Amino acid sequence: MFNRSIFFILYICIAAAILTFSVQCSSNKQEPEKTAENTQHQWLNLHDSAKYVGMQTCRQCHEDKYQTFKETGMGQSWGKATMQKSAANFHQNQPIYDKFSDFYYKPFWKDSTLFVTEYRLQGRDTIHSRTEKLDYIVGSGQHTNSHIYNVNGYLYQAPFTYYVQKGQWDMPPGFENGFNTRFNRALGAECLTCHNGYPEFEKKSFNKYYKIPEGIDCERCHGPGSIHVNTKKQGEIVDIKHDTDFTIVNPRKLPYHLQIDVCQRCHLQGNTVLKEGKTFFDFKPGMQLSDVMDVFLPVYENQEQGFMMASHAERLRKSPCFLQTNKHGVESFNCITCHNPHVSVRTTKRQYFIDKCMACHKQPHEKSPQILQTKNQDCISCHMPKSSAVDIPHVTITDHFIRVVDKRKQGTTVG
């Protein structure tokens, strides 16, 4: 009996000591610093209950952002086939000829409706003719306009494209060199979820849509807006100069690797493979892209200068600017370091981008002053030269691989 009492008292003492130690540890534990890394899981609109509300809802409070964004390449990415939307020159009388299939294509307006006729000739006789009405134009008009037609909600790409920089009609990318699918290229979710805002999609189909937006919208970069809108209607206002509004993602508040994931959801071109159970509609800003999909990139041996049209993120990640500033996981150099997504690059003065370079390169290389003098103080033309893309003909784009270019072997890095 005596031994039992001793053991009981000893047990109580040990338990009390453990409890005291635990309380002291808890009280001494410091509150974690509220960094972007620690708060990313708090974005409320990542929850499945958050719904998309559309750009016109955002516009009610953000008219200034809406007006400038609508002029950007993203805001102009998709629209109805109207004369105002088209950047093409229809006064060129020469039809597009595909020598591989022996078909001609002639786009034309009839009143305010756009059509294209496919035909084949035998001598002077027309032995085949097919005319389709076009419903949508894809592309901001900075590089290309491609054309889409709608058959009871099923979307298909038409076999002709206008290449703006050269003012030239030709076959669309992927239709050349014997691969002309004529009017049969179906536009699946992978295409539409990058070239446009999220449409209402028939999940059991490949290319049937119920409602199609007109251009990439606010929620592609900020995520679903319903929670944000509802809290504001209830009078819950956050002073974003001092605090973070977690009802909707602000990409600038994300850690750098999640910031670039927002951009490379569409600006990282390769072979995309969805994770099991995922769809092209599942990624939301603030998520890790690799949780939804993997993107496998082509490698061109000994062709460092070769890159695809939408490879901005891949090229940027090669840049010393990106590698050196982000190697310790610190939020630093990224797409939005230089780009304001709400304002068109076409209306942004070049000096704005040069100033972004000089903000970091305050002590330039000893040769830089004399070089800059001959290059009109333009860092970009030397370190981000324009080039053609390996997958899109007749276009010239800015290479986002920032480096010192060896002119003897264009596209490689010196040192």
Q: For residue 1, what pLDDT is reported? A: 46
Residues 161-195 pLDDT 10s: 999 999 999 999 999 999 999 999 999 999 999 99
- Strand ranges, E, within 11-164: 78-80, 96-98, 103-110, 113-122, 125-133, 136-138, 144-151, 154-163
Provide the whole-model pTM.
0.85
- Cβ neighbours of residue 79 under 8 Å, at least 6 residues apart? 85, 136, 137, 214, 215
Q: In terms of Cα–Cα distance, which of 331, 332, 300, 328 is closest to 314?
A: 300
Residues 59-83 pLDDT 10s: 999 999 999 999 999 999 999 999 9
Whether residue 116 contacts residue 107, with contact meaning beta carbons closer than 8 Å, is answered with yes
Model confidence band, residue 324 (pLDDT cutoffs 50, 70, 90): confident
Q: Residue 321, SS3?
A: helix
Q: For residue 302, what pLDDT is reported? A: 64
Question: Does position 327 have pLDDT exceeding 80, yes or no?
Answer: no
Q: For residue 251, what pLDDT is reported? A: 95
Q: In terms of Cα–Cα distance, which of 174, 183, 185, 85 is closest to 137?
A: 85
d(CA 37, CA 255): 6
Model confidence band, residue 349 (pLDDT cutoffs 50, 70, 90): very high
